[in-house]
Homo-oligomer: A and B are copies of this chain.
Amino acid sequence: MRTPPQRGRRQGRTTSRELILGSARKLFAEHGYAATSLREIARDAGVDPAMVHHWFGGKEELFNACVELPADPAQVLGHVGELPAELRGEALLRALLTLWDSPAQPALLALLRNVTGSKAQAALIRQVLFKRMLALAMAGLPGSAAELERRGVLVASQMIGLMVARYLLRAEPLASAGHDELAALIAPVLQHYLTGPLPGTGSAVPGTGHG
C-alpha cells in the first residue's frame, strides 16, 4: 500500500477516504452513476483527484465501495446477457440464487436492509439494480429503451420480492425450496416479463386461469 498523503497521519488517511466515500455516495445518488465523474467527487470532497485513484482505483470500484456490493455484478450476471433471450429468465434467477446461497448472503441481507434505510441509500441501490445489474442481464434484447426499462423493473420487482420472502421473511415453502423448484415456479414469470407479451407491446398475457 502506498504512503497516504499528509493531513495528519492515520487520522488524515481515514478522513480523506471517508470524505471521498461521502461525496461519492451523495453525487451518485443525486445524479446517477453515468453523470458523476471522479473529478466532481474529488472537488466535492475537497481532495485531489489523484487521491480518489489512490484509494479506490477507478469509478467502478468507488461505486462498489459506496454500495458495499459483496460481488461484482459483471461477474454474477455477465454471462446472462450472452444467452439467447428465451433462456435468460431462468439464467437470471439461478445466478441470483447462487449468489444469495453463498457466503455473500449476510452482506446481501445487509444491502437489502439498507434499501429500507435512507433515501440516499435507496437511490444508490436503485442505480445498481436497475441501471447496472439489469442492463447486464438484458443486453441485446429487442425493444425500445422505454420498453426494456419497463420490462426490467418488472423483473426486478419479482426478484426483490422473492429475495425478501425467501431470505428476510423466511416464508415457507420458498425459504427451503431448492433452486430447481424455484426455477420451475418463478423463471416462467421472469421470462414473461423479459420477452413475453405485455400491454403496450402486443397481445395480452396468455390465459392463466384454471379456476
**Is A211 at the interface (CB under 8 A from chain B)?**
yes
Band of interface residues on A: 35 or more
Are A171's CB and B153's CB within 8 A? yes
**Is A202 at the interface (CB under 8 A from chain B)?**
yes
- A174 contact from B153, B195, B206, Cβ within 8 A: B153
Interface of chain A: mostly helix, strand, loop or mixed: helix
**Is A164 at the interface (CB under 8 A from chain B)?**
yes
- Cα–Cα, bound, A173→B199 (Å): 14
Per CB-CB distance, the 9 closest pairs between chain A and chain B, nearest first, are A161-B161, A85-B211, A196-B208, A192-B208, A195-B211, A188-B205, A184-B199, A157-B161, A160-B161
Are A157's CB and B162's CB within 8 A? yes
Instruction: Give chain A interface residues in 145-180, CB to chain B under 8 Å.
Output: 146, 149-150, 153-154, 156-162, 164-166, 168-174
Q: A113-B116, A181-B199 are in contact. Are A126 and B205 (CB under 8 A)?
A: no
Are A116's CB and B168's CB within 8 A? yes
**Is A86 at the interface (CB under 8 A from chain B)?**
yes
| Chain B hits for A198, CB < 8 A | 185
| Chain B hits for A100, CB < 8 A | none
Closest to A141 in B: B211
Copies in the complex: 2
- A169 contact from B129, B150, B192, Cβ within 8 A: B129
Closest to A205 in B: B188
Are B160's CB and A165's CB within 8 A? yes
**Is A207 at the interface (CB under 8 A from chain B)?**
yes
**Is A204 at the interface (CB under 8 A from chain B)?**
yes
Are B153's CB and A115's CB within 8 A? no
- Cα–Cα, bound, A160→B116 (Å): 13
Looking at the assembled complex, report how far the CB atom of A64 sits from the nearest CB atom of chain B, in whole angstroms.
Answer: 19
Looking at the assembled complex, report how far the CB atom of A137 sits from the nearest CB atom of chain B, in whole angstroms.
Answer: 13
**Is A135 at the interface (CB under 8 A from chain B)?**
no
Sampled A-B contacts (5; CB under 8 Å) = A116-B116, A146-B173, A154-B174, A188-B205, A196-B209
